[in-house]
Structure 1
Amino acid sequence: MFETILIANRGEIALRIARTCRELGIRTVAVYSTADRDSAVVRFADESVHIGPPPSRRSYLSAPAIIEAARRTGAEAIHPGYGFLSEDPDFAEICEAAGITFIGPPPAVMAALGDKARTRGIMADLGLPVLPGTTDAVESTGRAREVAREVGFPLIIKAVAGGGGRGVRIVRDPAQFPAAFAASRAEAQLLFGDNRVYIERYLESARHVEVQVLTDRYGNGVHLGERDCSVQRRHQKLVEESPAPGLPPQLVERMTAAAVTGALGVGYVGAGTFEFLVGDGDFYLMEVNCRLQVEHPVTELMTGVDLVRQQILVAAGERLALTQAGVVPRGAAIECRINVEDPERGFVPTPGRLTRFEPPAGQFVRVDTHAYPGYQVPPDYDSLLAKVVVWAPDRAQALARMGRALDECVVEGAGVHTTRAFLRATLDHPLFRTGKHDTSLVDAMLAH
């Protein structure tokens, strides 16, 4: 087992990883930018290292700074959390060359699955269903027009190297396709340094459902159930829950089995997530996320499995102790993301200093957060402030518990707005309460 792990991340996920490390008796090293010098994880970790100024490219995305911090502190492994370098195969290779364990899948697997178009082809060859579209990048307008005619409308254009719902364009009118294709490529270049895009058929009124998998380097793998992530703004998730309401058990069984087949088929190692669209009576692979998900607490509450602990054990070379029969999801769990954003202004971020921060508490309520009264929310990073997660014996009780928890939650600060009230309204929406919502719910709510 590792003696020291460096956490190459910030915010709530860095603190969450550090807590599991402490439970395992592993010494932790936090890295931080100047903007995060007073962060909770810096206070909690056994040692902390300043790695640069606020811009991510000069701190949390700086592989040389992070590797040097690991060397200075004697860290044998690096946990990347989510975002930043978590799905960067080049960084994983740099770690390997430096004799440091990267807690994640092998670089070659990450590179293959990081290309979203290539992933579609790989998984289709393994028998997973995919929507009509391309399995390679479309780089010319002429070729894009041909593909659009073959796929039909509506269609969606996505960045090959994309993530987090960025670099995406939905096109319903053929006349708007050339402009959307050009805009998607330009945005992909700006955000990811890679202008390649691919095209697939867009499924209207679809659900977004994902499956959590765990595998080891010895060919063992299990799934830990599904999560519904259909409540989204700008293709980014706001509410996640498990089990996905209203799905036929046979469809869930096929989908979860497909995820394990896909993971083992590519030699995946660690925790990963297979994301699917569910509609027209079937499911279709969207992409594979080679990291821990923001919404992993939902699965932890459903199964009692500490996913970070499992990541660390597998990375240390241990065999997966879990069997599929031993993974028994129970009850219902819901997560709401409290973001420092103003929903009335298109979810624009509203960073500032918190004058009050009172997270909810009570039975079966979990709050993952790095915030505290007086905390200065920096403008440089993601706007996620806290994740409120609840469990109950069934969905109706979970909804009631989450409603109570959101009502308890207090976040105040000059100019600071949060998604709390919007989330509360989402819980009360008839479509959500009956489990009949899809990815169009937030747009419908904003339209009214």
Structure 2
Amino acid sequence: MDALRFITCGSVDDGKSTLIGRLLLDSKAVLQDHLAGVTYSNAGAVEQIDLARLTDGLIAEREQGITIDVAYRYFSSERRKFIIGDAPGHEQYTRNMVTAASSADAAVLLVDTTKLDWQRPDLTLLAQTRRHALLCHLLRVPSLVFAVNKLDAVADAALAFAHIRAALQRFAEQAGLAVHAVLPISALKGWNVVDRGHLHEGWCGYHGPTLLEVLEQLPNTAPPPEAALAFPVQWVEKPGAADVGAGELPVASSPSGRRVFWGRVAAGRIQAGDEVQIFPSGQRARVAQVLNRCRQPQAVAAGHSAGVLLERELDVSRGDWLLASAPSTAPNEATAYPARQHLSATLAWLDDEPLQAGRLYWALHQHRWVKAKVVRVLHRLDIHTLEQVQAERLEANAIGRVELQLQAPLPSVAYARSRALGALILVDSASHRTAAAVLLD
């Protein structure tokens, strides 16, 4: 199986960094010098390992004991390779969590037992737990795993796990979440993470696999269905800019010294002989040659990088698109990707300043920037009741539906059809902060 890209998320201090440190340590993925740097002695001169410091590398993170930026780590088991994204749990850094989740194959959402009234069968989950689960669902993360953590710190672990699992299942059913597994763990002790240690099979009444065994069986993100070609241009290589140097791979010949348009195929497949339409100019051309990431002539499918040479010279720049040519001769039209200026979308508001209708922002769609105005806020999602509440603005970390008016049209489809074409971000034009993640309907 291919490497699994997953994130850990949840509320602040739920043990996300400690869990990743435990996975790295118990899978023998930590070097001795790195391990020595996070080992300390307590009052009894007993050496302890601060697992969280294996991932929290920023000075501010170590001083405050929280995760701020997304930290990526790599490890492997006997069965699979993994890429882990340690996402922050603090509400202030929800934008970083969204960034990590947007490209993840799975999400492990931690739940801190000690923060909940676990003796009550009708306990209420933390707001950030619900928010992160909903964001993973909106971002179409394929697999969601709930890991109930810190069960070693409560008097009755079995009762706590039973009540929390029931609450998670009620929430998942109400929100329409597809949950792959709910399992008990102790990241600090290492119980039920990589192995069960001294625990017997039925700890907390759970008889399923460990967290690592669950991760080893999770599927990767399914390849996108067959679709018409959509290729966003990220970089234009001028003729003669990629001469062969010592030890480099041979470069495929460029017909007539034409420019090479590089980018990652967003949808479909591109190969020599395809007729494409340039967006936004509407001009048409035929593909003369396609280079893969090693600069070898080869057809390239969605999700992979490619260099494209056209049979005739056209004005194509960063931010333009090569789209499957439509039979119509009308400009700005493509078979599967009509250009639109008025859009409805689900929006996760990430800025500290509230979103207000009528304000202008920069919108980034792949590599193209356009001005965007929020025409109106349709409603806000109440993360506690999951009801749609009428609203005129969105506060920080709110999720809602809006209508957008773009200064220029963009080729787009629903996010449910394509992560690449159906998503954009809003950027505050004054502060240049990322203001919102937008998922098109």
**Which is higher, the Rg of structure 1 or of structure 2?**
2
Taking CA–CA contacts closer than 8 Å with sequence separation of 6 or more, which of the two structures ends up with the larger relative contact order? 1
Structure with the higher fraction of residues in strand conformation: 2
TM-score when normalising by structure 1: 0.21
TM-score when normalising by structure 2: 0.21
Structure with the higher fraction of residues in helix conformation: 1
